Amino acid sequence: MINIAVLGYGTVGSGVVEVIEKNKEVIDRRAGEALYVKYILDLRDFPGDAYEDRIVHDFRIILNDPEVSIICETMGGLEPALTFSMQALKAGKSVCTSNKELVASHGAELIATARQNRCNYLFEASVGGGIPVIRPLNVALTAERIELIDGILNGTTNYILTKMAQEGTDFEVCLKEAQEKGYAERNPEADVEGYDACRKIAILASLMTGKTVRYEEIYTEGITKVTKEDFLYAKKMGLFIKLLASVRYEAGAYYAMVAPFLVGEDNPLHSVNDVFNAIFIRGNTLGDSMYYGRGAGKLPTASAVVSDVIDCAKHGRKHIICLWEKEKQPLSDIGGACRRFFVRAKEGSEEEVRRLFGRMARVDAGVPGEFGFLTEPMTEREFGEKAEALEGFVGRLRVDA
Amino acid sequence: MINIAVLGYGTVGSGVVEVIEKNKEVIDRRAGEALYVKYILDLRDFPGDAYEDRIVHDFRIILNDPEVSIICETMGGLEPALTFSMQALKAGKSVCTSNKELVASHGAELIATARQNRCNYLFEASVGGGIPVIRPLNVALTAERIELIDGILNGTTNYILTKMAQEGTDFEVCLKEAQEKGYAERNPEADVEGYDACRKIAILASLMTGKTVRYEEIYTEGITKVTKEDFLYAKKMGLFIKLLASVRYEAGAYYAMVAPFLVGEDNPLHSVNDVFNAIFIRGNTLGDSMYYGRGAGKLPTASAVVSDVIDCAKHGRKHIICLWEKEKQPLSDIGGACRRFFVRAKEGSEEEVRRLFGRMARVDAGVPGEFGFLTEPMTEREFGEKAEALEGFVGRLRVDA
C-alpha cells in the first residue's frame, strides 16, 4: 500500500480524493499497489465529511510519518506551499502539484531537490488542467527540437472571447456572464490580464529550453481591450480572435509573449472554444501537433495530479529525468519578432496608411467612421513606429499566420 | 554509449537514422547517454550511403552482439518481424516498433515477453505516427476510466474525404489525385477499405480495456461508397464526413467499429483535414481530450520510434508497465449500438419514411430525384430493419453526435 497526503482540501484537493476513490480499481492496477489517502492537511475542519478523520492541521505530522511517500500539493500560492514542498522532497517524499505559480517561480529548484533526494516533483496539472502536455514534452517529444509552442491556456478568457464572437457583445457584458456562470472570479484580473496564461507559458517555455524562463520577462497583454468591433473585422476576414500564450525559437533567439491574436482556419487552435484549452507544438521532425481538452475544473485537474501520483508510485525512489535547469534562459525583446498586424484606422486616413504601410487592401466591416487593413510582415518595433506615426490609428491586433 | 540496431532501411528506418543524427545533441541529453546506430539490417546493399558500413544482412549478427541493447523494428509485416522481435526480447534487448500490423496481432505476447526478460516492447509509432497517443494512454491518462476513443487514424482517407468536401468531386477522382501526390498507394485497399484504421483502433482498444481486442472482430467499412452527393447533404446540414475508428464503453459492453460518420462542428474532429490524424479520448473524470498531428510520414513516424528508444535508454533493464493482457476482450455486436442515422431516399417515399421512422425533417441538397432526413437515435439493428423495409432507400451514413 502506498500512503499519500493531500495538502489543501479545496477544489482540486477534494477532487484528488474523489478521483482516487472513484477510479480505485484502475488506479491501483496501474500504480501496481493500492493508494491510500492517509492525511489531508487543511486549516479548516470538515465535520461530517467522509474523510473527516484524515484531516490534520500540522504539516509536521505528514512530514514525520515515514509511511507517507507521496504528497499532493493542491494549496496554490507561493507560501507555505514552497516550504512544505521543499521539506517533503528533502525527506525523500515525492510531490505532485497543480500549483502553476509555484512551478513557474521555483520549478528548477524543486526538481533539483527531488533529484538530489531520489524522489520526484511532478506538475502535469499546472498547465492545461487535464490535458497531458507536460508529460508529452518530457517523455514523448524527446527526439524533437521544439520550435514553437502556441497555447490557449486560460479557459476564462477563451470563454469570454468565444461569447464575444458568438453574441457580438462587449467584453464587460461577457465577463459578467462568465462570472455569473462561475467561469470567472469576482476579481478576474489574473485571468483577463493574461497573468495566468503567462505563468503557464513560462513553465512550457522552461521545458522547451531546458533552462528557466522567468515569467516576469514575458510580454503580457490581456483581453480587456478587445472590442466587439474587432470581432466584426475578424468575422469579415474569416479570422478568429484568441488569447495566445506563445514561445518560439527563431534564428538563435527565443521569443515569448501572451496577447490576443487573429488566427486563421488553417490554425487548429481557431476552433478551440468555450472553456477548453489547447496547446499547439511544432517540432523540427515531428511537424505540427496539438493537445486539446479541459484546461481547468475540479476533476480534470485532479485526474492530472493523480496521474502524477501513479507515475511516482511506479518509479519508487527512482528520479524521472526532467530537463529544467536553474540557469536563466534569456528571452529576446519582442521588438525583433516579425509578423503581420491588423490595423483599424479612421476614415480618410487611407493616403497616410499607404504612405506608411505601402499597398493595402481595405477591410470594411460596417463600423462607422473607420476601416481596417492587414500589414505585410514586419517587426514589432517597425510596426510600433509606423502605428505611432499614423494619425488616424484606432487600434491593432497581431496576426498569427 | 547505447548501441542500437535498425531493422529495415526503408522509409521509417532511414528516418530513424536521420532523426538520431539530426537531433543528436538533444536526444543524447535526454537519453542520458549517446545513442549509436551500430547496425542496419536490410536485404539490400546501399553503396555510397553514409551508413553503408553499418548494413548487415544477417539478423544473428545483431542478436549475438551483447553491445546492442535496443532494436528499432521498422520492417513492417508479420514475418520475419515477429520472429526477430521475439528473439531480441528473449535476449533482453528492447524493441521499438512502428509496425501496427504486428502490434495489433501479437502485442500482448510481445509485451509479456519483454516483461519476462526485463526489457521493453514500445510501439508509440504504430498509431497516429508522430502524435503521442500510446504514451498518454499508458502513462498520462492513468487515473481515468476511458469511456470512448474516436480516431481519424488514416491520413490517406482523410485526405481523400477533405478533397471530396472541398472540390465536390467523386471518390475515384480524389483517390487518383492522392495517388499522384504519393498520399495513397498504387494498391489503396488497406487504406480506403479501412483495414489500416481497423488495426490501429484495435491497438488503442486493447490499451483501453487492458485485454486483447482482435482486429478481425471489428466491424470495418471503408470510404469507397461515399459519394459527392453525400457531401452535398453534409454541407446543407452543416456537418462533415470523416472516417472514424471508434471504441466505446456503454452499459457494460464494448463496441468498436470503423466507418464513415457525419460529425458536427461541436466535435473537435470535424476540422481535422488533409493527411492529419487526431484521436479524441473521453475519460470519466478528465472529460474530453484530443491529440492531433501528422499521422504518417517518414520523420514524424521516425521521431516517435526514437522517443521510444530514449524511453528504453532511460529505463535500462527496468520494464515499463503496460496493461495489455493476452486474454481476449469480447466486443458486443454493433447491432446493439445506438445512434442517429442520415438516410437518402427517393422522391415520393416520404409517406413510407414517416410510417417507418416517424416524424422527419426533410433535407434538400439539390440532388435530383431524392431527399434526405435524420432519424431519431436507434440501434443499428433496428435501423437495418427499417432501412431494408424502405423501398425508396438510396443510402445512409451514421451520425456521431
Catalytic residue IDs of A: 200
Query: What is the CATH architecture of B335-400?
Result: 2-Layer Sandwich (3.30)
Class of the domain covering A2-129+298-315:
alpha beta
For residue A111, give the C-alpha cell: 526538481
B30, B285, B304 ranked by CB distance to A302: nearest: B285
Question: What's the CA gap between B382 and A287, in Å, rounded?
Answer: 44
Task: Judge: A142–B291 Cβ closer than 8 Å, yes or no.
Answer: no
A286, A288, A293 ranked by CB distance to B288: nearest: A293
pLDDT at residue B107, rounded to an integer: 98
Query: What is the separation of C-alpha A12 from the centre of its chain, rounded to a whole number of angstroms?
Result: 16
Distance (Å) from the alpha carbon of A389 to chain B's nearest alpha carbon: 40
Task: Judge: A292–B297 Cβ closer than 8 Å, yes or no.
Answer: no
From the CB of residue A169, how many other CB atoms can be counted at a distance below 10 Å? Answer: 16
Fold topology of A136-293: Dihydrodipicolinate Reductase; domain 2 (3.30.360)
- Strand pairing class (B121-122; B94-97): parallel
- By CA distance, what is B27's nearest residue in A? A143
Interface test with B, best of A12, A144, A208 (most B CBs within 10 A): A144
What letter would DSSP give residue A145? -
Task: Judge: B290–A291 Cβ closer than 8 Å, yes or no.
Answer: yes
Query: Average model confidence (pLDDT) for chain B?
Result: 95
Smallest CA-to-CA distance from B221 within B257, B267, B273 is with: B257
pTM of the full structure:
0.93
Residues A50, A53, A59, A65, CA torsion sign: negative
From the CB of residue B339, how many other CB atoms can be counted at a distance below 10 Å? Answer: 16
Task: Judge: B132–A141 Cβ closer than 8 Å, yes or no.
Answer: yes
Task: Judge: A289–B293 Cβ closer than 8 Å, yes or no.
Answer: yes
Interface test with A, best of B142, B269, B301 (most A CBs within 10 A): B142
Smallest CA-to-CA distance from A103 within A234, A205, A13, A240 is with: A205
B130, B284, B289 ranked by CB distance to A293: nearest: B289
Question: What's the CA gap between B95 and B100, in Å, rounded?
Answer: 14
Smallest CA-to-CA distance from A100 within A5, A244, A226, A204 is with: A204
Cα Rg for chain B, rounded, in angstroms? Answer: 23
Interface test with B, best of A289, A291, A301, A324 (most B CBs within 10 A): A289
Cβ contacts from A onto B, under 8 A: 191
SS3 A255: strand
- By CA distance, what is B146's nearest residue in A? A26
Task: Judge: B132–A136 Cβ closer than 8 Å, yes or no.
Answer: yes
pLDDT at residue B266, rounded to an integer: 87
Query: What 3 state SS string does chain B have?
Result: CEEEEEECCCHHHHHHHHHHHHCHHHHHHHHCCCEEEEEEECCCCCCCCCCHHHEECCHHHHHCCCCEEEEEECCCCCCCHHHHHHHHHHCCCEEEECCHHHHHHHHHHHHHHHHHCCCCEECHHHCCCCCCCHHHHHHHCCCCCEEEEEEECCHHHHHHHHHHHHHCCCHHHHHHHHHHCCCCCCCCHHHHCCHHHHHHHHHHHHHHHCCECCHHHCEECCCCCCCHHHHHHHHHHCCEEEEEEEEEEECCEEEEEEEEEEECCCCHHHHCCCCEEEEEEEECCCEEEEEEEECCCHHHHHHHHHHHHHHHHHHCCCCCCCCCCCCECCCCCHHHCEEEEEEEEECCCHHHHHHHHCCCCEECCCCCCEEEEECCCEEHHHHHHHHHHCCCEEEEEEEEC
What letter would DSSP give residue A269? G
Q: What is the ipTM of this complex?
A: 0.90
Q: Where in chain A is the domain with CATH 3.40.50.720?
A: 2-129+298-315
Span B11-40, mean pLDDT? 96
B284, B293, B303 ranked by CB distance to A143: nearest: B303
Q: Where in chain B is the domain with CATH 3.30.360.10?
A: 136-294
pLDDT digits (tens, 9 = 90+) for B39-69: 999 999 999 999 999 999 999 999 999 999 9
For residue A8, give the C-alpha cell: 489543501
pLDDT at residue B360, rounded to an integer: 84
Q: Report chain B residues whose CB lies below 8 A from the CB of A299.
A: 285-287
pLDDT at residue B139, rounded to an integer: 85
Catalytic residue IDs of B: 200
Smallest CA-to-CA distance from B146 within B213, B202, B205, B103 is with: B205
SS3 A34: coil
Task: Judge: B314–A321 Cβ closer than 8 Å, yes or no.
Answer: yes
- By CA distance, what is B285's nearest residue in A? A299
Fold topology of B136-294: Dihydrodipicolinate Reductase; domain 2 (3.30.360)
Task: Judge: B23–A311 Cβ closer than 8 Å, yes or no.
Answer: no
Q: Where in chain A is the domain with CATH 3.30.360.10?
A: 136-293
Q: Report chain B residues whose CB lies below 8 A from the CB of A32.
A: 321
pLDDT digits (tens, 9 = 90+) for B301-336: 999 999 999 999 999 999 998 999 999 999 999 999
pLDDT at residue A360, rounded to an integer: 84
Q: pLDDT tens for chain A, 401 residues: list them.
A: 999 999 999 999 999 999 999 999 999 999 999 999 999 999 999 999 999 999 999 999 999 999 999 999 999 999 999 999 999 999 999 999 999 999 999 999 999 999 999 999 999 999 999 899 999 898 888 889 999 999 999 999 999 999 999 999 999 999 999 999 988 999 999 999 999 999 999 999 999 999 999 999 999 999 999 999 999 999 999 999 999 999 999 888 999 999 999 999 889 999 999 999 999 999 999 999 999 999 888 999 999 999 999 999 999 999 998 999 999 999 999 999 999 999 999 999 999 999 999 988 899 999 999 999 999 999 999 999 999 999 999 999 999 97
* Residues B286/B362, Cβ–Cβ less than 8 Å: no
SS3 content of chain A, % helix, strand, coil (to 5): 40, 25, 35
Q: Report chain A residues whose CB lies below 8 A from the CB of B317.
A: none
Q: Where in chain B is the domain with CATH 3.30.70.120?
A: 335-400
* pLDDT over 80 (residue B342): yes
